[in-house]
Structure 1
């Protein structure tokens, strides 16, 4: 069999070189990412939300605006950098969590570091008790939303049976360079009270996620679906393995199956996106349905995944050296970024028409 070499060019193309025939093929590449922005709250007290407990609102009022502007600037830098090294562009689409409202997203996408990317916003207010939401940002030139909806997760306290208000799951369908894909953005319930006690809440979130995926596949069995988010579970936990039935090996992903490229990064490489009690967790993940795994590249296919853990995003000293350089600690602003690293996948597609542009 003839061998192929793969290289990524800054013209946002991939070139496969057939060693024997010197045959070249060009490929478009786009970054799809997710980032937990760690308490991106504004400085305004919203009487309808419990935002008084946000780190910014707990600060002295005179410092809030300065901290907020620095926080937005830092978040914009990271978003601008994800994927840039390989694609010379920021993500075509990026899901985010821990945002208070639409206005903080408007401020984010209008930061000078992102302004020329012309990001659009998909956001719904959710009933979360902390007042935090998920959202999707997309470059308008690359992705065109065709349908958006929000799915409420109803879970209840084990003892009181009172409802626990948490984040909705956001579904955005749209065309990436003319090709229909579906993206679900998640922020599943936390591990408050312990992993075992809180586990049913995340399994419930995974079951809701699976129902959304099943509904899309009932319309189109070959639907290209990406589900992403801060799942507050590792890739080998029950919510991922039993409820979503995600597989870590491409060859095991069957018809309508789900692939999790981050499981081996966690289990075999020991990588993580957030640290707690001197241990790594890989809570931030991006999963894809089987059609992204086909071997031809006539339409967008999965190419590779990664954790964006550049040096500037990590603590340099102390007990948490190497862990994410978070924004807030001990009641003050650190001028850091987030307590989570972002994650990303690359999608590639062959460019067959010689006249078709390969630039984003």
Structure 2
């Protein structure tokens, strides 16, 4: 165990860093992969997806990522969980853009069994975060007929963030496409799976610092989050962000905050805290929104059905600012 008294006596400085999560809305390459249902996102498919559209989306997303939390930290996020990416190659294209290439990002990604081939991943700055361990944890679901319902894995990453060990779970829970009530049990199952991982971590190390992030397809007040995931040992700042007029996505003229970042309570401890929670927010600057029309203020998305809009994503990113106390 680290000698905290020695740490307290050593010269230190405080550094602010951002941790974010961003659903990238179907970041597919243009190649047909026969193993997944990606035909729509090919030049001959329903979306007529091509290299021009891919490059444009990559550049737009890199602009967003470069600005998340920058007002507080002066730079791009130290950690960024992402969802709806087809493979590692599309993330490599993203971090090689002009806006991100000098930021020193690396990638953690595993191909999941999701039928559409969309996965979660983690971008991290190598100077801020040292990876110790990572793995894809299967979320096993069944259909009403008892067949396997293939969905995204949970990405688990353990590492050192600015001198402090953290455990990160990146999620993309089952959608509400067939109805919120009809699909709620799948998200409850996902919450319970996360909770089991958390309980195992805490059993091994009671003071483990844990961050759970993702597109949960449920809000902070949903049963899956409030009852099964964010128990008394977790702080969910997203409880205070979503309103009638603001959220991370808009569906049928209603705002939701499905994109969330939760923290174990040791991040909000106000004393002797080398990695202290400061605040959370939705990154929804004007350029990320529909400028006019009936969808004014909504996320400026890439597609609306078959119609190509050329926007960023149908979600806004969310982020948290932490203050790290590091040795000089």
Residue in structure 2 matched with residue 111 of structure 1 by the alignment: 97
Secondary structure of the residue that 1:227 maps to in structure 2? strand
Question: Does the alignment pair 1:288 with 2:263?
Answer: yes
Whole-Å Cα distance in 2 between the matches of residues 39 and 165 of structure 1? Answer: 17
- Match status 1:93 vs 2:82: no
Q: How far 1:26 moved relative to its partner?
A: 5.0
The answer to whether the 8 Å contact 2:84/2:120 transfers is yes
| Partner of residue 189, structure 1 | 174
- Counterpart CA distance in 2 for 1:305 and 1:343 is 7
Q: For 1:78-106, what per-residue CA distance to the aligned partner results, in whole angstroms no more than 9, with x for missing partners?
A: 11110112211100010000000000000
Shift of 1:164: 0.9
1:38 equivalent to 2:25? Answer yes
Could you list the structure 1 runs, at least 4 aligned residues long, displaced by more than 4 angstroms after superposition. none
Give 1:348 shift: 0.5
Q: Deviations over 1:160-189 (max 9, x none)?
A: 121111000000000012210011100000
SS at match of 2:242: helix
> What is residue 299 of structure 1 aligned with on the other side?
274
Residues 336 and 60 (structure 1 numbering): CA distance in 2 closer, same or farther, change over 3 Å?
closer
Q: What is the match of residue 133 of structure 1?
A: 119
Match of 1:261 among 222, 237, 248: 237
Q: 1:323 Cα shift?
A: 0.8
**Which residue of 2 is the match for residue 336 of structure 1?**
311
TM-score (norm 2): 0.93
Which one has the largest radius of gyration?
1
2:297 aligns with 322
Distance 1:197 1:64, change over 3 A: same
* Structure 1 pair 285–55 and aligned structure 2 pair: CA distance change class (3 A): farther
Residues 42 and 56 of structure 1 are in contact (CA less than 8 Å); yes or no, is this contact kept in structure 2?
Answer: no
Distance in structure 2 (CA, Å) of the matches to 1:157 and 1:36:
25
Whether the 8 Å CA contact 1:173–1:183 is kept in 2: the answer is yes
Q: 1:280-310: per-residue Cα shift (whole Å, max 9, x none)? A: 0110000000110110254101110000011
Distance in structure 2 (CA, Å) of the matches to 1:52 and 1:344: 33
Counterpart in the other structure of 1:165: 150
- Cα deviation, residue 349, structure 1: 2.4
Native 8 Å contact 2:16 2:72 kept in 1: no
- Aligned-residue CA RMSD (Å): 1.7
Deviation at 1:27, TM superposition (A): 2.1
Structure 2 regions of 5+ residues with no counterpart? Answer: 1-11
C-alpha distance in 2 between matches for 1:57 and 1:313? 28
CA distance in 1, matches of 2:42, 2:196: 35
Aligned residues: 317
Post-superposition shift, 1:270?
A: 4.9
Higher relative contact order (CA 8 A, sep 6+): 2
SS at match of 1:315: coil
Query: Which runs of 5 or more structure 1 residues have no equivalent in the other structure?
Result: 1-24, 247-252
> How much has 1:241 moved relative to structure 2?
1.0
TM-score (norm 1): 0.85
CA distance in 1, matches of 2:28, 2:213: 22
Residue equivalent to 1:242: 227
Query: Which residue does 1:48 correspond to in 2?
Result: 35
Q: C-alpha separation between the residues in 2 aligned to 1:55 and 1:45?
A: 6
1:150 alignment partner, SS class: strand
The change in CA–CA distance for 1:43 and 1:188 in structure 2 (over 3 A counts) is: same
- Report the Cα distance in structure 1 between the residues aligned to 2:100 and 2:230, rounded to whole angstroms: 37
Per the TM alignment, residue 39 of structure 1 is displaced from its structure 2 partner at its CA by 0.4
Partners of 1:56 and 1:76 lie apart in 2 by 23
Displacement after TM superposition at 1:59 (Å)? 5.4
